[in-house]
A and B are shown apart, each in its own frame.
Chain A
Amino acid sequence: MGTLLFASFFSSPLWYYLLAIIAAALLIGFMLVSAIFSVWLERKVAGRIQDRLGPTRVGGKFGWLQTLADGMKLLVKEDIIPASADQMLFRVGPYIALAGSFTAFLALPFGNMLVGLDLNIAILFMLAVMSSEVFGIILIGYGSGSKWALFGGMREAAQMVSYEIPMAITVLVPVIVAGSMNLNEITLQQRGIWNWYLFHDPFTFCAFWTYFTCAMASCKRAPFDLAEAESELVAGFHTEYSGFRWLVIFMAEYGSMFAVSGIAAIMFLGGWSLGLPWELTDVFAGITGNATAGLWIGNLLNMVVFIGKCWFLVFVMMWVRWTLPRLRIDQVMMTCLKYLLPISCFLLIGVATWQLVLPPSVRTIAQLAIFGLTMLGLVLAILKLLATAKDVPGTGMPSMWQMTNVTGYQGAKQ
């Protein structure tokens, strides 16, 4: 009787409800944990780049629990809604932004078929829901009833509407190569590091950098963070926010950073593949002789690899943010409309011609050449880094008159 009930439960719609709730809870849980980790990482990276320590105390070493302490502080903060604000829009804005960012995670595969919703048009779905995040930002900016917030919101609207176009077009470049919009299938086609679409042809190689630039702009990250330019607009669109709603805005931002990095990893960097020419779930299914066990063990590793890749790309975004100065608003718009948009259109036409005209042998040679050159460049860069790491600068920074005599940061040694 008990087993019968159990069996009927698994075939009943109630089971689907439960599965859906578990999947959604796992996804939102991951999104929050990822945001907590990213905020801590951001502070450590910023500290490192600005020659200071960043958080050090909370949670013992490296201050790794600092974000939890921050979160606690934000939760108990007074929740202020300005008298001039539109109550409803002010309240609802951050949740629209968070919903847009979270919904993108539904279609993002973390491993072989390890995805909330396996859609045939997953990439289009992700771009569509992420573009609705900006609506929340505009409502935040408008509903605050503050000029700074309104300026920030309008800048964000202009920026997002422009950068969406080259972003979508550059995503189409690997879609043309793959012949599918299903993220799971696109990843399965990129087994083996030399098959990653980054190396597929010169156009996909350029498309990756173009996409990543647009992705950074669409997440309002510096050097494109005009919407919250604190030197001019106090804090831009979220000037009037405090406490929990402010937390939600940042959760949305870090969530969409991870999501666009996920798209970059899947479309160009082999998704969850470690670079080996085999799919891990198949390998483990062969070893254990059990398809389900193989799927679980393989996907555990796949998930680690995929999240690692995404966090690395998020780290690159932070690295860029704390290295480059902020652009002016006209420069931001010019970068998109005069450079990124034509470049992306050229890449789209280029990759279509490449696929149609060139014979497969030439394409393979080009692919291997691009792969080889990239690897060579990577090795040379690492060697150079290791070589300069040995040159420990002396105590104190080099002074001005020393700098005039030598080029670069060699002054301290002399």
Chain B
Amino acid sequence: MSPFTNLEPFLFWTIACITGGCAIACVVTHNIVRSATWLLFALAGTSGIFFLLGADLVGAIQLLVYVGGTMILVVFGVMLTAQGPFISMRTSSGEWAVSVAAGLLLLSVLSVAISKIGKPTPPSGSTVAQYAPKTTLAEGMTKEGETNEVASKSPYSMAIGQGFLGVGVGPAHKETVNGKETVVRASYLLPFEIVSVHLLVALIGAAYLARAKRRKEAAV
């Protein structure tokens, strides 16, 4: 497929390759701050993919939360763990094995999930120039019950946001509730909450890193 006949695949592969390259560099680099910089580029590339999909809100939130988060990581990573300037972290082969196993596990889960979704049907005549439809906040805040209609009119950020809040936006399927068969749409409240628990894990990890250093000092 020539980049001159179809813009979006070309842009997607460009951004995806940059993101992937930065992610690899982030893992390979020994220097902690350099690693964080590569992480920043990888996260910014991810938000670029969100923007390419027309999910402006998710892209902006990705920038706001994760770029800010990485900055905090740098500040705390440097302030709490650094003993000298430009520390480098050596990883043992055992750590490599564990992280590769974890990475492959995640990859396989994602692959299975992606293969189950099936091919999405993009909105007709989709190009970058025809950007996300106009929907204002006021329009979104209509009476209850109408919200789904608005969400279906704008298949971009609003549907994702509502899905995270527990409104059914996923593909419809039949389910037996209280012995009655009803049509249910999937919502994404639970995955969203699980992801947010990860932040807690990161916090505990940061505290652990800082504490381990101090204990070592006390032993010496």
Q: Give 1 or 0 for each of A77-92: 1 = CB within 8 Å of chain B CB.
A: 0000000101011001
Interface residues of A in 110-142 (CB under 8 A from B): 117-121, 124-125, 127-129, 131-132, 134-135, 138-139, 142
Total number of residue pairs linking A and B with CB closer than 8 Å: 103
**A186–chain B nearest beta-carbon distance, Å:** 10
Interface residues of B in 152-170 (CB under 8 A from A): 157
- Whether B187 is near chain A, meaning CB under 8 Å from some CB there, is no
A125 and B86: CB pair below 8 A?
Answer: no
A134 to B150, CA, bound (A): 37
B74 and A13: CB pair below 8 A?
Answer: no
Contact check: which of B3, B64, B157 meets A128 at CB < 8 Å? Answer: B64
B75 and A180: CB pair below 8 A?
Answer: no
- Whether A12 is near chain B, meaning CB under 8 Å from some CB there, is yes
Among residues of A, the one whose C-beta sits closest to the C-beta of B154 is A120
- Whether B197 is near chain A, meaning CB under 8 Å from some CB there, is no
Interface residues of B in 72-88 (CB under 8 A from A): 72, 74-75, 78-79, 85-86
- Whether B131 is near chain A, meaning CB under 8 Å from some CB there, is yes
Among residues of A, the one whose C-beta sits closest to the C-beta of B59 is A125
A109 to B210, CA, bound (A): 45
**A94–chain B nearest beta-carbon distance, Å:** 13
Interface pick from B30-38, B96-104, B109-117, B178-186: B30-38
A2 to B117, CA, bound (A): 46
**A284–chain B nearest beta-carbon distance, Å:** 23
Q: Which residues of chain B have C-beta atoms less than 8 A from A121's C-beta?
A: 56-57, 60, 157
* Interface residue ranges, A against B (CB under 8 Å): 12-14, 16-17, 19, 84, 86, 88-89, 92, 96, 117-121, 124-125, 127-129, 131-132, 134-135, 138-139, 142-143, 145, 154, 157, 161, 164, 175, 179-182, 185
Could you list 28 A-B pairs, sorted by A, with CB under 8 Å?
A13-B3, A13-B4, A13-B7, A17-B7, A86-B34, A86-B86, A89-B33, A119-B131, A120-B134, A120-B157, A121-B157, A125-B60, A125-B63, A127-B64, A128-B63, A131-B63, A132-B40, A132-B63, A134-B71, A135-B40, A135-B74, A138-B74, A139-B33, A142-B74, A157-B71, A179-B138, A179-B141, A182-B134
